[in-house]
Chain A
Amino acid sequence: MRGISKTFAGTQVLRDVDLALHGGEIHALMGENGAGKSTLMKILSGALRADPGSEIRLLGRRVVIDGPRRARALGIAIVHQELALALNLSVTETLFLGRELSRAGLLDRRAMRSRCQALLERLGARFTTDATVAGLSIADRQLVEVARALLAESRILIMDEPTTALSTCETDRLFALLRDLRDAGLALIYISHRMAEVSLLADRVSVLRDGRRVGVLQGEAIDARSIVQLMVGRDIASFYKRTQTQRRQDSALLEARNIGDGRRVHGCSFSVHAGEVLGLAGMVGSGRTELARLVYGADARLSGEVLLCGQSLPGSDPKHSIRAGLAYLTEDRAGLGLYLEMSVSDNINIGVIGADARMGGLLDRRRARERSAAAIANLHIRAPSPAVPVQALSGGNQQKVLLSRWLQTRPRVLILDEPTRGVDIGAKAEIYHIIDELARAGVGLLVISSELPEIVGISDRVLVMREGAIAGELTGQAIMQQSIVALATSSAAPRIH
């Protein structure tokens, strides 16, 4: 790709970007959200067309990619970050969607199922070919998307943040697979925000910033510090920035006792204190989100009680929790958190418009404007205006919108479920800063995260869940990635990731 430029409605999103991809390499593409990575990949995969003057060559020959089908025909496949799967289809049907195998005009189910089975085994999937997509976790759906791309036997495979919802062993398996594909001659573009992964996996790294390619690192030169420096343009030290707060031992803001739902969560008890960041770690599927939802009242509890500042929460309706001062930021911000078509301002204010209302029901629009202006300024939300639909924002900024919605409700305890998933480096740093500030202000925070460096970096205490129960607690110096993994897997030999 040479001299790629792209202008959207007056804003130049890509400026003269060059990208050279060789067969048999894993080429990582990094950059903050808004730097232009997604746009560049959309151009390559046919979803967008570059401005005139841009040139794409495949195996030396100039090609014009005028649509996704053309891209696929050229052997370019992309696995997106936000999955777009029809939930009612089976795995086999999804894999072969649009490319069904047929024999004499009829669907050849046996052939499709066996090929699907082979692929799933290769990926180490734990579900069957007949499983319905709706019943699979986000991690498993990811694997289906990967399998689908592999099925097309592409020459170029673009992976956009593939590991955000994968567990450690699933990630290892994916990496092994990607290395196999690379050795077989495939060219892979790997977009990720995770430094550790990129350092481990990539042969070369291209970094974009503000629509320009600012650097290409190769081999030995690939290290986290250089990458971050290129991405942000400045050196970020003390990334997680935990100021040592004096945790007030006496004031347990949230007490959960013997929480269970009879299925995914059993007898969990914990407490969150004022000014404390309690990390909740565990493998994907260990029940962390389920526990959070039970505590918050989004799902009905079978056993246990929750006390917020001494007051018992009925646990049947999120409304009560919000009113009492407990807020919950979901891990699935697009599906369960944001109103994608509503404006940024509406998304920020939706939690408090009831309380703000005048004369029993009228919107206080001036107040709403003030709130959203303040939120946008405080959290550095980058949006063209508060009136645009929130789906126009990048992942990091969407997350900040969702976070500011909860902050408007002035919570005493805030549960954050994967707060930095799909969020770029700069926004991540800002979110950690916000968490730090909240803790200093006396808010109790429960942070669920699958990113071990993150949990280790920001938590005062860490609870580790395993198969629906709390397997252990770590404090102070004992908080280390190895100990977390050991508790999460109960294996004798911890894997260092």
Chain B
Amino acid sequence: MLKSFRSLAFRNVGMLPALIVLAAAVQLATRVYTGEGRFLTAQNLSIVAQQAAINIVLGAGMTFVILTGGIDLSVGSMLAAAAVVSMLTSIDHGSLGIAAGLLTGLALGLGNGSLVAFLRLPPFIVTLGSLTAVRGLARLIGNDTTIANPDLAFDFLGNGSITLIPGLFAIPWLAALALAVIIVSWFVLRRTVLGTWIYAVGGNAAAARLSGVPVWVVLLFVYAVSGLLAGLGGVMSAARLYAANGQQLGQSYELDAIAAVILGGTSFVGGIGSIWGTLIGALIIAVLSNGLILVGVSDVWQMIVKGLVIVGAVALDRYRLRGGARG
């Protein structure tokens, strides 16, 4: 019993060592380049957490989808559309903007899901199409302008903190939301029947059907979740920026989300992976970006380094896994 737990833990610890090493390296680099360790300060860590938050939320939704062997390329666009709807609603209806954003995401996600589950269209193609169409929708709803609301009723979500220990420790709302999403996602994936069905459909869709698993329910669910969480991301983004622009917001967010999921150890073909891996993957990306900024690396180089690190990290992880299997 203990031996199996240890081997399972070893399988799941995945990229955590990489994250720790990266954090240590960044701290060291800032000390070398700027004279003091700027990374591991409460203020900076808070910034990192907030910057990672939206990607974590999108990554969680993406995890559900990739676990079934699918993909959702439209999360960035869905986030933008939801943010615009959220802002527009908030002007006259205040906090109802939150619900509006969430519902927008959910509806768009259900659209994706219906095409995949019922018409059996390949997810890559479906979400590629909605990536463009929904972007257009976002622009349309916002009249192709930036919708701003300086008196945003729910701006605390994007800028405030929850005080846990008065005077000492407060967690930013963005981070708290991201963490809550991870925990709920973990619960659904690991503790519910639906979660097991998700892994089954990703592992062997044909076998799932033969065993009586309602495959269409699973597919519809994961794309709806992805949409809903993109909607949440939109609300969080709107709350943070006090504004939303249908064209510019959320560009390439899906790539960061996918990178977080894959870095976290979830397999592209489905059936293998965990939500904690996605959390670590998103943190790796955020820490890396933050580190490069602190050290003073120019914007251009940041993109190159980020891309290479993602490829390198995944290659290392796969090599390690394959080496273990061969004995």
User: Is there contact, CB below 8 Å, between B193 and A363?
Assistant: yes
B212 / chain A contacts, CB cutoff of 8 Å: 317-319, 321-323, 351, 354
User: Complex Cα distance A357/B326, Å?
Assistant: 38
CA distance A451 to B136 in the complex (A): 62
| Contact (Cβ within 8 A) A337 B210 | yes
Q: Which A304-355 residues sit within 8 Å CB-CB of chain B?
A: 317-319, 321-323, 328, 330, 335-342, 346, 350-351, 353-354
Q: Which chain A positions have C-beta within 8 A of B210?
A: 298, 318, 328, 330, 336-337
A361 within 8 A of B: yes
Shortest CB-to-CB span from B325 to chain A, Å, is 10
A176 contacts the other chain (Cβ, under 8 Å)?
no
Q: With an 8 A cutoff between CB atoms, is B192 at the interface?
A: yes
Given contacts A330-B210, A384-B4, is CB(A342)–CB(B199) below 8 Å? yes
Query: A321 to B190, alpha carbons, bound, how many Å?
Result: 27
**With A298-B209, A351-B211 as contacts: A341 and B195 at CB distance below 8 Å:** no
Q: Is residue B304 contacting chain A, with contact meaning CB distance below 8 A?
A: no
Q: For chain B residues 1-33, which have a beta carbon within 8 Å of chain A?
A: 1, 3-4, 8
Chain A residues with CB under 8 A of B206: 335-336
* Distance A321 CA – B210 CA, assembled complex (angstroms): 10
Interface residues of B in 178-202 (CB under 8 A from A): 190-196, 199-200
Are B213 and A350 touching (Cβ within 8 A)? yes
A354 to B192 Cα, complex, angstroms: 9
> Is the Cβ of B211 less than 8 Å from the Cβ of A350?
yes
Q: A322-B212, A350-B213, A362-B193 are in contact. Are A337 and B203 (CB under 8 A)?
A: no
Q: Which residues of B contact A338 (CB under 8 A)?
A: 204, 207
Question: Which B residues are in CB contact (< 8 Å) with A237?
Answer: none
A9 touches B (CB below 8 Å): yes
Report yes or no: B327 in contact with A341, Cβ–Cβ below 8 A.
no
**A317 CB, nearest partner CB in chain B, Å:** 8
Cα distance A328–B190 when bound, in Å? 27
In the bound complex, residues from chain A placing their C-beta under 8 Å from that of B208 are: 339
The CA-CA distance from A350 to B193 in the complex, in Å, is 9
A residues less than 8 Å from B327 (CB atoms): 8-9, 48
- Are B193 and A339 in contact, CB atoms less than 8 angstroms apart? no
The one of B193, B200, B213 that contacts A342, using a Cβ cutoff of 8 Å: B200
Tell whether A405 is near chain B: CB-to-CB under 8 Å.
Answer: yes
Q: Say which residue of A336, A337, A339, A365 sits within 8 Å of B271 (CB atoms).
A: A339
| Alpha-carbon separation in the docked complex, A321 to B1 (Å) | 36
Task: Digitize A353-371: 1 where CB-to-B-CB distance is under 8 Å, 0 elsewhere.
Answer: 1100100011101000000
Q: Which single residue of chain B is at the shortest CB-CB distance from A6?
A: B327
Measured between beta carbons, the chain A residues less than 8 angstroms from B272 are 341
- Complex Cα–Cα for A387 and B214 (A): 24
Q: Identify the closest chain B residue to A293 (Cβ).
A: B210
A367–B115 Cα gap in the complex (Å)?
A: 36
With a cutoff of 8 Å between Cβ atoms, the chain B residues found around residue A226 in the complex are none
CB distance from B324 to the nearest CB of A (A): 10
Q: Which of A48, A318, A385 contacts B211 (CB 8 A)?
A: A318
Q: Say yes or no for A388: interface residue by CB 8 A criterion.
A: yes
Residues of the A chain whose Cβ atoms lie less than 8 Å from the Cβ of B194: 361
**Residue from the list B8, B192, B211, B214 in contact with A361, Cβ < 8 A:** B192
The residue in chain A whose Cβ has the minimal distance to the Cβ of B8 is A387
Return the contact of A340 from the options B8, B192, B204 (Cβ within 8 A): B204
Are A339's CB and B203's CB within 8 A?
yes
Contact A363 B213 (CB under 8 A): no
Q: Look across to chain B and name the residue whose beta carbon is closest to the beta carbon of A322.
A: B212
| Interface of chain A residues 1 through 24 with chain B (CB within 8 A) | 8-9
Bound form: Cα–Cα A333–B211 in Å: 12
Q: Are B193 and A385 in contact (CB under 8 A)?
A: no
Which one, B4, B191, B271, contacts A362 given CB within 8 A?
A: B191
Are the C-beta atoms of B199 and A339 separated by less than 8 Å? yes
Please determine whether B1 and A385 come into contact, CB atoms closer than 8 angstroms: yes
Determine if B4 and A385 form an interchain contact, defined as CB atoms under 8 angstroms apart: yes
Shortest Cβ distance from A192 into chain B, in angstroms?
A: 26
Q: How far is the CA of A149 from the CA of B196 in the complex (A)?
A: 40
Q: Which residues of B contact A354 (CB under 8 A)?
A: 193, 212
Q: How far is the CA of A160 from the CA of B194 in the complex (A)?
A: 39
In the docked arrangement, what's the CA distance between A428 and B214, Å? 32
Given A9-B327, A322-B212, A362-B191 in contact, is the A339-B200 Cβ separation under 8 Å? yes
Q: In the complex, are the beta carbons of B271 and A342 less than 8 A apart? A: yes
A2 to B191, CA, bound (A): 51
Give bound CA distance, A294 to B90, whole Å: 56
Distance A48 CA – B1 CA, assembled complex (angstroms): 28
User: Using a CB-CB cutoff of 8 Å, which residues 192-238 of chain B contact chain A?
Assistant: 192-196, 199-200, 203-204, 206-214
Cα distance A353–B204 in the bound complex, in angstroms = 17
A interface footprint on B243-255 (CB within 8 Å = 1, 0 otherwise): 0000000000000
Q: Which residue of A lies closest to B204 (CB)?
A: A339
A350 and B200 within 8 A (CB):
yes
> Which of A317, A321, A361, A388 counts the most B-chain CB atoms under 10 A from its CB?
A361
A263 CA / B208 CA spacing, docked (Å)? 25
Q: Which residue of A lies closest to B194 (CB)?
A: A361
Known: A350-B200, A361-B194. A341 touches B271 (CB 8 A): yes
Chain A residues within 8 Å of B271, by CB: 339, 341-342
The answer to whether A340 touches B193 (Cβ under 8 A) is no
Of B8, B193, B204, B211, which one neighbours A357 at CB under 8 angstroms?
Answer: B193
Query: B185 to nearest A CB, angstroms?
Result: 14
On whether the beta carbons of B203 and A341 are closer than 8 Å, the reply is yes
| Residues of the A chain whose Cβ atoms lie less than 8 Å from the Cβ of B200 | 339, 342, 346, 350
Q: Contact residues of B with A, CB < 8 Å?
A: 1, 3-4, 8, 190-196, 199-200, 203-204, 206-214, 271-272, 326-327
Would you list 10 pairs from A and B whose C-beta atoms are within 8 A, ordered by A residue?
A321-B212, A322-B212, A330-B210, A338-B207, A341-B203, A341-B271, A341-B272, A350-B196, A361-B193, A365-B191
Sample of 20 more A-B contacts, CB < 8 Å, known A321-B212, A330-B207, A335-B204: A9-B327, A48-B326, A298-B209, A318-B211, A323-B212, A330-B210, A338-B207, A339-B203, A341-B271, A341-B272, A346-B196, A351-B212, A353-B193, A353-B196, A357-B193, A361-B194, A362-B192, A385-B3, A387-B4, A388-B4
> Which 4 A-B residue pairs are closest in the complex by CB-CB distance?
A339-B203, A385-B4, A319-B212, A322-B212
